[in-house]
A and B are shown apart, each in its own frame.
Chain A
Amino acid sequence: MAAIEISGVRKVFRNATSGDELVSLEGIDLAVASNDFLCLLGPSGCGKSTLLNMIAGFETPSAGTVAVDGQAVSSPGADRGMVFQQPTLMPWLPVWENVAFHLRLKGASRRARREAAATYIDMVGLTGFADHYPAQLSGGMSQRVGIARALLMNPRVILMDEPFGALDEQTKMEMQTELVRIWEHHRGTIVFVTHGIDEALTLGTHIAVMSARPGRIKALLPVDLPRPRDVTSPRFNDYKRHLLSLLRGEEAGSLPASLAVPA
């Protein structure tokens, strides 16, 4: 059974003042298998966040269904972890309390929370920062806290909306390496929204390429590249060319022979 199943999803936003309707997503069918790392790639405004927010339960589809582990999504919940574009940490809580916030909601003792937090703080490479406050962290460190916070819930699915979008190139690359390491070690399904082709190719096992107005899924591309991925390799660049032509709207047709996945 697929971890996430989206079928026939359509999303229409109605402008409250003018009454105009905007079709944000149209005819979305997508199945994400367990332990897949799916990247949603597309231009700004094509509905990536909208689609992710539907899996999260923040938005409801105007038509069609979204199911996680066979259960229709009706509201946000701890079976799915979310890492936001902005770190959205509670500024009044130290790092460890932020990481263990889920346990606080479940009524766990201070000691249990501290212990659990320590494990995940180490995992994202923030050892020694447990007692810092969010205002004392850099952007990259804050995102690490956000990732640790999602991992601690041990969710079946982790949703990420351009989590590295606000980071500089160097930090972004470090965080990508780190994320792949964690995903390989931890397993689990990740849906990762990005508009960076390199980022999608560095991270994903699959890439869903989207187009705008209305948002549709143009192609679902399995990425068959060895890890750690080498952004300078010829095969990486073949993929990149293919994705670029898809994004530019050229009917790229079938996958070039060089990229065909061995059956």
Chain B
Amino acid sequence: MFRSNGRRALRILVPLGLLAAWEAFSRAGFLPRNLLPPPSAVLYAWADWIFGFNHSAGSDSGTWLMDASASGMRVFTGFTLAAVTGIMAGIAIGWSRVAEASMEPTLQMLRPIPPVSWIPLAVIWFGIANKPAIFLVFLGAFFPILMNTIHGVRTVDANLVRAGAMMGGREHQLLRFIVFPAALPSIFAGLRIGIGSAWMLTVTAEMIAVKNGLGYVLWDSYNFFRYDLVLAAMASIGLLGYASDLAVKALMTATLHWQQSTTVQGRQG
């Protein structure tokens, strides 16, 4: 009891303490105030960005929800595309020698290319709008999902597949009813890495190739010396990234509920 309460308190006390220290440091005046605005100033600018009550955030006043949902939509679309294609390609490569031989070398060669280095091509192909950002998010999320799915499929207990074949399962049924669920723990590990890179890449893309969204506000505010808004944008990205990871994690917990008794009680079965 005490321990878990104590840990819960720590989760809140540590960030609050850090904020208080930052506030004090910033007010002490070691640095010019506009270079490191205190949290109170950031909150103030952030609040106007969200609610638009006094236009202290300038042209961004009251546009937060639009910016956040624009970024969120890019993350969601790119991530969903990456999840669907990454899981399907991963199952194919992990399961079939032919798919492995035909797809894996190409994909492995594309994988080390940092997704941001695709920005020039993405802009040429898709122009300045949603599409290059979605494309970048897709690239960033696709590979971790793909790699983890392949790993998950390759490490499926062969005896489960044999048992399924012995019960009359045809290949597509074995994939759907045995290989896919057995690989889910691995797939979810990939999804969680993927959602992290998704936010990273939306913001990067918005700083260069899009004219709205949290990343755009961040870069635009930097150009106008509004470091309070830069910090508010960073905090927004952090919070939304955290929230989407929690969402993936909640989906994982609900889907893999059968796994908990195995890990918590450590029973071999």
Given contacts A76-B166, A86-B159, contact A133 B261 (CB under 8 A): yes
**Chain A residues, Cβ within 8 Å of B181:** 90, 92
The answer for the CA separation of A10 and B184 in the assembled complex, in Å, is 40
Other-chain contact of B177, A78, A87, A105, A142 (Cβ < 8 Å) = A105
B169 at the interface (CB under 8 A from A): yes
Q: Give the residues from 148 to 207 in chain B that come closer than 8 angstroms, CB to CB, to chain A.
A: 157, 159-160, 162-170, 173, 177-178, 181-182, 184
Contact in complex: A91, B173 (CB < 8 Å): no
The answer for the CA separation of A70 and B259 in the assembled complex, in Å, is 43
Q: Give the residues from 79 to 118 in chain B that come closer than 8 angstroms, CB to CB, to chain A.
A: none
B11 at the interface (CB under 8 A from A): no
A84 at the interface (CB under 8 A from B): yes
B17 at the interface (CB under 8 A from A): no
**Chain B residues, Cβ within 8 Å of A58:** 162
B266: nearest residue on chain A (CB-CB)? A135
**Chain A residues, Cβ within 8 Å of B163:** 82, 84, 88, 149
Given contacts A87-B269, A105-B169, contact A76 B258 (CB under 8 A): no
A42 at the interface (CB under 8 A from B): no
Contact in complex: A78, B269 (CB < 8 Å): no
A141: nearest residue on chain B (CB-CB)? B269
B5 at the interface (CB under 8 A from A): no
Contact in complex: B258, A91 (CB < 8 Å): yes
B255: nearest residue on chain A (CB-CB)? A92
Contact in complex: B258, A92 (CB < 8 Å): yes
**Chain A residues, Cβ within 8 Å of B269:** 87, 89, 91, 134-135, 137, 139, 142
A119 at the interface (CB under 8 A from B): no
How many A residues, CB 8 Å from partner? 32
**Chain B residues, Cβ within 8 Å of A93:** 258
Given contacts A88-B160, A142-B269, contact A77 B166 (CB under 8 A): yes
Query: Chain B nearest CB: distance from A144 CB in Å?
Result: 13
A87: nearest residue on chain B (CB-CB)? B269
A227 at the interface (CB under 8 A from B): no
The answer for the CA separation of A142 and B269 in the assembled complex, in Å, is 8
How many B residues, CB 8 Å from partner? 26
A101: nearest residue on chain B (CB-CB)? B167
A80: nearest residue on chain B (CB-CB)? B166
**Chain A residues, Cβ within 8 Å of B162:** 58, 76, 82, 84, 88
State the majority secondary structure of interface residues on B.
helix
B256: nearest residue on chain A (CB-CB)? A92
Q: Give the residues from 100 to 157 in chain A that come closer than 8 angstroms, CB to CB, to chain B.
A: 101-102, 104-106, 133-137, 139, 142, 149, 153
Q: Give the residues from 53 to 110 in chain A that come closer than 8 angstroms, CB to CB, to chain B.
A: 56, 58, 75-78, 80-82, 84, 86-93, 101-102, 104-106
Contact in complex: A149, B167 (CB < 8 Å): yes
Contact in complex: A90, B178 (CB < 8 Å): yes
Query: Chain B nearest CB: distance from A160 CB in Å?
Result: 12
The answer for the CA separation of A92 and B176 in the assembled complex, in Å, is 13
B162: nearest residue on chain A (CB-CB)? A58
Q: Give the residues from 184 to 242 in chain A that come closer than 8 angstroms, CB to CB, to chain B.
A: none
Interface centre among B163, B166, B177, B178 (most CB of A within 10 A): B166
**Chain A residues, Cβ within 8 Å of B169:** 105
Given contacts A88-B157, A91-B269, contact A153 B167 (CB under 8 A): yes
The 5 closest A-B pairs by CB, nearest first: A78-B168, A76-B165, A135-B262, A102-B167, A88-B159
A91-B259, A92-B182, A101-B167 known, 16 other contacts, Cβ within 8 Å: A82-B162, A84-B159, A86-B159, A88-B162, A88-B163, A89-B269, A104-B177, A105-B167, A105-B170, A105-B177, A134-B269, A135-B269, A136-B261, A136-B267, A142-B269, A153-B168
Chain B interface residues (CB < 8 Å from chain A) = 157, 159-160, 162-170, 173, 177-178, 181-182, 184, 256, 258-259, 261-262, 265, 267, 269
**28 A-B contact pairs sorted by A residue (CB < 8 Å):** A56-B166, A75-B165, A76-B166, A81-B166, A84-B159, A84-B163, A88-B160, A89-B269, A90-B178, A90-B182, A91-B262, A92-B182, A92-B184, A101-B164, A101-B177, A102-B168, A104-B177, A105-B167, A105-B168, A105-B170, A105-B173, A105-B177, A135-B258, A135-B261, A135-B265, A136-B267, A139-B269, A149-B167
